[in-house]
Chain A
Amino acid sequence: MFELNEDQKMMQKMAKEFADKEVAPGAEHRDDKEEFSRPLYNAMAGLGMTGICFPEKYGGADGDLLSYILAVEEICKADAGIGIALSASVSLCAWPIYAFGSEEQKQKFMVPIAEGKKMGAFGLTEAGAGTDASAQASVAVLNGDHYVLNGSKMFITNASEAEIYVIFAMTDKSKGTRGITAFIIEKDMPGFTFGKKEHKMGIRSSKTMELIFQDVKVPVANRLGKEGEGFKIAMATLDGGRIGVAAQALGIAQAALDAAIKYSKERIQFGKAISANQAIAFMLADMALKVDAARLLTYRAAALKDAGKSYGKEAAMAKLYASDIAMEVTTDAVQVFGGYGYSREYPVERLMRDAKITQIYEGTNQVQRMVISGAILR
């Protein structure tokens, strides 16, 4: 049923070569030191990975979403933190501007991201607004030819590295979710600063910080979409971003599976490789099954989006399943490695720490279940 076409296979091969040669070697160091590497992001972007699924006239390569997802998966196999930096920039920032922006906004803000010259970020979450995204406390007040933005955002990926931010704020509190508006904020706008850097369990090579807006003057030309359209834009963006997170979880799980299989053949106990024991072999079989199932769900969601069909439920299913099994598979991988699995000198404990976030961000897995049940109970 599922065969990648030649374009997609070549894209996957290209991304894998890059990931193996350039991303993998420094992954352990970046995790250890909580270091994001902008040069590495620039290298990925320079090769065109930020533009895979945008049209050529907008700085892209006219590829399909599945090709992009394959690239994200390969990068995440090597370093999930670098992978999410790519995914957040492309799916959460460039995409909404591409889908909802004016021609000027596309040229000014989205094309540089697709071309790899600038980096993007997405700011919806606040201290008081996580799953309840509608409880936006950030406020934007219209004042002639500009809005004045005040508030803060939390847990923002790529914060302080990105030059372009898609930010959501309340323009009319009385309208609830229909009072939320999207804006394009630039890094050097006066009043826009960064707060504390998050010290995280995993994806430590990804930069996560607080954004602070103090009387930031945002030109009306930077408003993305109409007033009150913000919530719709946010939800549509997250729908697609979900597939990227599924690909990230898939990459992490595959890396864990590969490591566990390799180790099980090398580790000798009782005079034979531990893989000769059914207990281990059966664990690996279950892990392989989960990864394959997650793969099919993820590629299916991407294929649906590419075909212009409705994909919200399928994207939620992919993200939910891939992240849940990533947690299971990485935990099992640590188990297969035994004592060595617990040591920072072996790669699997990092994979387990990296996997956890995929069950949480871009819509917790509880939210994913809301999306799925909503779709099936309609």
Chain B
Amino acid sequence: MEIVVCVKQVPDTTEVKIDPVKNTLIREGVPSIVNPFDKIAVEVAIQLKEKHGGRVRVVSMGPPMAKDALKECLAMGADEAILVSDRAFAGADTLATSYTLAETIRKMGPVDIILCGKQAIDGDTAQVGPGIAENLGMPQITYAAKIEVNGDTVKVDREHEAVYEVYEVKMPVMITVVKSIAEPRFPTVKGTMRANRAEIPVWSAADINADEKRIGLNGSPTQVRRIFTPKQRSNGEIIQAETASEAVAQLMSKLSDAKII
């Protein structure tokens, strides 16, 4: 099986603070991590490989330091990594990013499954996965909570608030995954060391035959006018538990999962 996972290096948003005056993210001194949903996608890819054989390649569009994020994925067990990086990609919105990643994957050769995290924790748009699928003319299933490969088809449970939809689709297919699908494994010592020695090729815009009008700022119709924290307007949630300490434990778990603490 040929599996490609798209991965983004993002600032750790639990550490990020909002500048109260400018209403922008304060990014200095904030550590960079692999987007948590992408890490989950890598885990799913490795599990599929372990079950069905094949190859897991991870790809990222980013600055040179995104190599660290790719190395983490290699350490988990991905087979190869490619960084697509070029000054011309700067300022890309989701349209330009999807185009760039799609062309990169096109260059990588035939693929059975493209896996993406459901969204990046900095942009939160959830648009790039679907954008890639459109560019490559392949079907897309988002919010996958379960993936089962049977021969040349994939059965996917698509998660909604209270129900699941079950889809069956012929490969190749692009799938974005939600948190509940898997827990990313810790990299092993050997994996970490192997990842560190790995040569990660860097592909430029020319390498992927990119149309310069569709990449970077040039290819980005979206303009960010303002970033702000909106007022939360959602229902409260009642936590049911046997004892107060159990309830507190559940609450703490929800708060930390939501990256509030």
Chain A residues within CB distance 8 Å of chain B: 6-7, 10-11, 14, 17-18, 21-22, 46-49, 51-52, 61-63, 71
What is the minimal beta-carbon distance from B50 to any residue of chain A, in angstroms?
15
- Sampled A-B contacts (13; CB under 8 Å): A6-B196, A7-B193, A7-B196, A10-B75, A10-B195, A10-B196, A11-B189, A14-B186, A22-B186, A46-B188, A47-B189, A61-B190, A63-B189
Q: Residue of A at shortest CB range from B71?
A: A10
The 8 Å CB contact of A51, one of B71, B187, B189, B195, is B189
What is the minimal beta-carbon distance from A15 to any residue of chain B, in angstroms?
9
What is the minimal beta-carbon distance from B71 to any residue of chain A, in angstroms?
7
Q: Residue of B at shortest CB range from A17?
A: B186
- Within 8 Å of chain A (Cβ to Cβ): is B204? no
Given A10-B71, A10-B75, A14-B75, the answer on whether A52 and B189 have CB atoms closer than 8 Å is: yes
Please state if A48 and B196 are interface contacts (CB–CB under 8 Å): no
The 8 Å CB contact of A61, one of B186, B189, B195, is B189
Q: Which residues of B contact A62 (CB under 8 A)?
A: 193
Separation of A18 and B188 alpha carbons in the complex (Å): 10
Q: Which residues of A contact B186 (CB under 8 A)?
A: 14, 17-18, 21-22, 47
- Within 8 Å of chain A (Cβ to Cβ): is B192? yes
Chain B residues within CB distance 8 Å of chain A: 71, 75, 186-190, 192-193, 195-196
Q: Which residues of A contact B189 (CB under 8 A)?
A: 11, 14, 47-49, 51-52, 61, 63, 71
Please state if B196 and A14 are interface contacts (CB–CB under 8 Å): no
Separation of A252 and B31 alpha carbons in the complex (Å): 23
Please state if B190 and A14 are interface contacts (CB–CB under 8 Å): no
What is the minimal beta-carbon distance from B160 to any residue of chain A, in angstroms?
29
Separation of A7 and B191 alpha carbons in the complex (Å): 11
Separation of A52 and B190 alpha carbons in the complex (Å): 8
What is the minimal beta-carbon distance from A9 to any residue of chain B, in angstroms?
9
Q: Which residues of A contact B187 (CB under 8 A)?
A: 14, 47
What is the minimal beta-carbon distance from B256 to any residue of chain A, in angstroms?
10
Q: Which residues of B contact A71 (CB under 8 A)?
A: 189
Q: Which residues of A contact B196 (CB under 8 A)?
A: 6-7, 10
* Chain B binding surface SS class: helix
What is the minimal beta-carbon distance from A135 to any residue of chain B, in angstroms?
39
Q: Residue of B at shortest CB range from A48?
A: B189
The 8 Å CB contact of B188, one of A7, A17, A47, is A47
Q: Residue of B at shortest CB range from A49?
A: B189
Separation of A61 and B75 alpha carbons in the complex (Å): 13
Please state if B188 and A48 are interface contacts (CB–CB under 8 Å): yes
Separation of A21 and B190 alpha carbons in the complex (Å): 20
Q: Which residues of A contact B195 (CB under 8 A)?
A: 10
What is the minimal beta-carbon distance from B193 to any residue of chain A, in angstroms?
6
Q: Which residues of B contact A17 (CB under 8 A)?
A: 186
What is the minimal beta-carbon distance from B244 to any residue of chain A, in angstroms?
16
Separation of A47 and B195 alpha carbons in the complex (Å): 14
Q: Which residues of B contact A18 (CB under 8 A)?
A: 186
Separation of A274 and B187 alpha carbons in the complex (Å): 40
Q: Which residues of B contact A14 (CB under 8 A)?
A: 75, 186-187, 189, 192
Q: Please list the 4 inter-chain residue pairs (A to B) with the smallest Cβ-Cβ separation, ordered nearest first.
A: A48-B189, A48-B188, A61-B189, A61-B190
What is the minimal beta-carbon distance from A61 to any residue of chain B, in angstroms?
5
Separation of A11 and B72 alpha carbons in the complex (Å): 11
Separation of A62 and B196 alpha carbons in the complex (Å): 13
Beyond A48-B188, A49-B189, list 19 extra A-B contacts (CB 8 Å): A7-B192, A7-B193, A10-B71, A10-B75, A10-B192, A10-B193, A14-B75, A14-B186, A14-B187, A17-B186, A18-B186, A22-B186, A47-B186, A47-B187, A47-B188, A47-B189, A61-B193, A63-B189, A71-B189
Given A6-B196, A10-B196, the answer on whether A48 and B75 have CB atoms closer than 8 Å is: no
Q: Which residues of B contact A22 (CB under 8 A)?
A: 186
Separation of A14 and B187 alpha carbons in the complex (Å): 7
Q: Residue of B at shortest CB range from A18?
A: B186
Q: Which residues of A contact B71 (CB under 8 A)?
A: 10
What is the minimal beta-carbon distance from B4 to any residue of chain A, in angstroms?
24
Q: Which residues of A contact B193 (CB under 8 A)?
A: 7, 10-11, 61-63
Separation of A130 and B224 alpha carbons in the complex (Å): 70
Q: Residue of A at shortest CB range from B190?
A: A61
Q: Residue of A at shortest CB range from B185?
A: A47
Separation of A112 and B162 alpha carbons in the complex (Å): 47
Q: Which residues of A contact B192 (CB under 8 A)?
A: 7, 10-11, 14
Q: Which residues of B contact A10 (CB under 8 A)?
A: 71, 75, 192-193, 195-196
Separation of A18 and B186 alpha carbons in the complex (Å): 7
Q: Which residues of A contact B75 (CB under 8 A)?
A: 10, 14
What is the minimal beta-carbon distance from B31 to any residue of chain A, in angstroms?
10
What is the minimal beta-carbon distance from B251 to any residue of chain A, in angstroms?
15
Q: Residue of A at shortest CB range from B31?
A: A13
Q: Residue of B at shortest CB range from A8?
A: B196
Separation of A22 and B184 alpha carbons in the complex (Å): 13
What is the minimal beta-carbon distance from A351 to any residue of chain B, in angstroms?
22
What is the minimal beta-carbon distance from A350 to any residue of chain B, in angstroms?
20
**Most chain-A Cβ atoms within 10 A of its Cβ — which of B75, B187, B195?**
B187
